[in-house]
Amino acid sequence: MAWIRRHLVAFAAFAVLIYMLVPNVIVAAFSFNNPRGKYNYVFNEFSTEAWTSPCGAQGICESLGLSLRIGVTASLVATVLGTMIAFALGRYRFRGRSATNLLIFMPMATPEVVMGSSLLTLFLMLGVPSGTGAILIAHIMFCVSFVVVAVKARVATLDPRLEEAAADLGANPFQTFLRVTLPLAAPGIAAGALLAFSLSFDDYIITNFNASPSSITFPMYVWGASARGVPVQVYAIGTVMFLVALVVVIIGQVLSSRRNRQVA
């Protein structure tokens, strides 16, 4: 009894960990299933078919490719814009600064359904055709907010005296930005970019409002397929995505712990 009481925190932590990881484990396990019928809910027999022919299901790889393209483009553009906005908000005092600060948070606070439908209305009014272009515009818009928040937090911790020191040592404003400011802000920018990519890649609601039949993203494909039976390949791709995210997180942890060890 005493032993259990002493390790209560460990038990709780373990339980939470299981709670969080079980879905991923199930997905990974069922990616090796050869389902009987169209529903992949009961483990029938072991098969590597999903892994050997991941594009086996019709349209799956097209949608995955589209999602990746949109994710990369949207996160790149949002990162560049968001970084500039974050520096402007973090470094300068100008008229409309607090209003901008507030407006930047709006896309994060607005329910996605509202934003998706209002964007669709706007696009229809302006004659912007639904499809990849409209999806990109929408994704960039909400990703910018998250990038701004991530980068701004980093900018706030930057010592402006370091830029003065660089200027003092003969670096012109461009060199100062490139050699001092940017490397120091990099962790925030990287975090913002990753967040933007995962948000864009993952988005269903806003995307669905603004999509056309020729722009089916991966989340839309999965949602559509779930009605008539999700192909095993979705499980395999999902597992890969989980593993990629895991690797990115581990790399980040290793880098930051190495940095901390140097500081200590």
> Which residue ranges make up the site for other proteins (CB under 8 A)?
159, 161-162, 164-173, 175-176, 179-180, 183-184, 262-263
**Closest approach of Cβ 34 to other proteins, in Å?**
52
* Residue the block writes with tokens 């606070």: 109
In this complex, which beta carbon is closest to other proteins, that of residue 163 or of residue 203? 163
Residue whose CB is less far from other proteins, 135 or 185: 185
Closest distance to other proteins from the beta carbon of 158 (Å):
10
User: What burial class does residue 173 get, using C-beta atoms within 10 Å of its C-beta: 0-12 exposed, 13-18 middle, 19+ buried?
Assistant: exposed
C-beta closer to other proteins: residue 145 or 176:
176
Q: How far is CA 90 from the centre of its chain?
A: 23
Q: Is 138 or 155 the residue whose CB approaches other proteins more closely?
A: 155
Nearer of residues 161 and 228 to other proteins, judged by Cβ = 161
> Which residue has 């990703």 as its token pair?
143
Q: How many residues does the chain have?
A: 264
Q: Supply the minimum distance, in Å, between the C-beta of residue 264 and other proteins.
A: 9
Task: Quote the CA–CA distance of 139 and 167 in Å, as a whole number.
Answer: 38
Kindly state the smallest distance separating residue 261's Cβ from other proteins, in Å: 10
CA distances from 16 to 22, 29, 197, 202 (A): 10, 20, 27, 24
CB of 58 or CB of 172, closer to other proteins: 172
Write down the least CB distance from residue 175 to other proteins, Å. Answer: 6
Gyration radius of the chain's alpha carbons? 23
Vertex 59: Cα angle to 57 and 62 (nearest 5): 125
Give which of 228, 176, 196, 221 is closest to 60, Cα–Cα: 221
Q: What is the DSSP string of 156-176?
A: HHS-HHHHHHHHHTT--HHHH
Kindly state the smallest distance separating residue 12's Cβ from other proteins, in Å.
36
Of 128 and 171, the one with the shorter C-beta distance to other proteins is 171
- Minimum Å gap between C-beta 169 and other proteins is 4
**Enclosing H/E stretch for 51:** helix 49-52
Q: Nearest distance from residue 179's CB to other proteins, in Å?
A: 8
What letter does residue 40 receive in the DSSP assignment? -
Smaller CB separation from other proteins, 52 or 262? 262
Distance CA 144, CA 77 (A): 8
- Residue closest to 225 by CA, chosen among 19, 7, 58: 58
